[in-house]
């Protein structure tokens, strides 16, 4: 077992399962079941669940168990707006000043997305998409931008994985073209065009959600 305290082991393990889509919104589990799966007592499980509750992933229901929560649609729209503001800021800065983009890392994450789509690995596909955007943001060397992005990216990852598993599994890998287009514009130094592509994609996401009955 890891040298980390049991609470940290339990927290990281359960959190990773949530991000993998092993537990979907509406699922109920119990401390006893989680403890048995992880081979530990219920005490570190209870502490780990408390941390996950603070992050909004789960809710403890009295005498019923642990409920996996969905993401409130208003929160989801707000997260999209926030991340788009970060992308826009970074691209405007790159257009105004000289920053060195790590194109090799960008390409790596795109290639990993393609591989994950071919192997139908939802989590790896979406996670590499987010890391692609993280790499773009890192170019402007603003740690508060990255800290803000990191604070919300896992909530977004949880949503897109569970959404595609339950609502949109018929076309989960359409983002490949998006990231290819963004990458090509970044290679060209066409930062305003990259920004336009991202903004249009965000509008498309909203329309997709509205078509599926999700309104703010």
For 106, the enclosing helix (H) or strand (E) is helix 103-118
Q: Quote the pTM value.
A: 0.78
CATH number at residue 12: 1.10.10.10
Top pLDDT among 166 and 145 is at 145
Q: In which domain, by residue range, is 158 found?
A: 73-211
Looking at the fold, whether 139 and 47 belong to one and the same domain comes out as no
pLDDT of residue 1: 47
- Whether residue 216 is contained in a domain is answered as no
- Whether residue 98 is contained in a domain is answered as yes
Residue 113 has pLDDT above 70, yes or no: yes
Looking at the fold, whether 195 and 151 belong to one and the same domain comes out as yes
Between CA 201 and CA 186 the distance in angstroms is 16
Looking at the fold, whether 85 and 179 belong to one and the same domain comes out as yes
Q: Which residues contact 22 (CB under 8 A, 6 or more apart)?
A: none
Task: Give the SS3 label for residue 22.
Answer: coil
Distances (CA, A) of 196 to 87, 97, 100, 115: 11, 19, 21, 26
Closest CA to 13 of 42, 36, 38: 38
Query: What would the pLDDT profile of 66-106 be if each residue is shown by its tens digit?
Result: 999 987 778 888 888 899 999 999 999 999 998 999 999 99
| Number of separate domains in the chain | 2
Q: What is the mean pLDDT of the chain?
A: 88
CATH number at residue 122: 1.20.120.530
Segment 17-46 mean pLDDT: 93
The DSSP symbol for 48 reads: H
């Amino acid at each position: 077992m890891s040298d980390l305290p049991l609470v940290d082991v339990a927290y990281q393990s359960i959190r990773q399962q949530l991000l993998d889509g092993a537990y979907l919104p509406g699922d109920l589990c119990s401390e006893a079941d989680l403890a048995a799966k992880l081979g530990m007592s219920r005490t570190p499980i209870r502490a780990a669940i408390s941390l996950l509750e603070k992050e909004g992933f789960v809710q403890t229901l009295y005498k019923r168990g642990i409920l996996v929560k969905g993401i409130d649609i208003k929160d989801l729209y707000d997260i999209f707006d926030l991340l788009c503001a970060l992308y826009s800021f970074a691209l405007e800065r790159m257009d105004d000043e000289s920053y060195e983009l790590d194109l090799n890392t960008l390409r790596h994450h795109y290639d990993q997305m393609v591989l994950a789509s071919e192997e139908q690995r939802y989590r790896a596909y979406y996670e590499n998409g987010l890391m692609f955007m993280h790499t773009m943001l890192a170019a402007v060397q603003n740690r508060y931008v990255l800290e803000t992005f990191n604070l919300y990216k896992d909530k977004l990852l949880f949503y897109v994985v569970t959404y595609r598993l339950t609502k949109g599994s018929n076309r989960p890998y359409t983002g490949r073209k998006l990231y290819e287009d963004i990458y090509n514009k970044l290679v060209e130094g066409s930062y305003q065009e990259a920004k336009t592509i991202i903004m249009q994609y965000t509008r498309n996401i909203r329309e997709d959600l509205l078509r599926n009955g999700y309104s703010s």
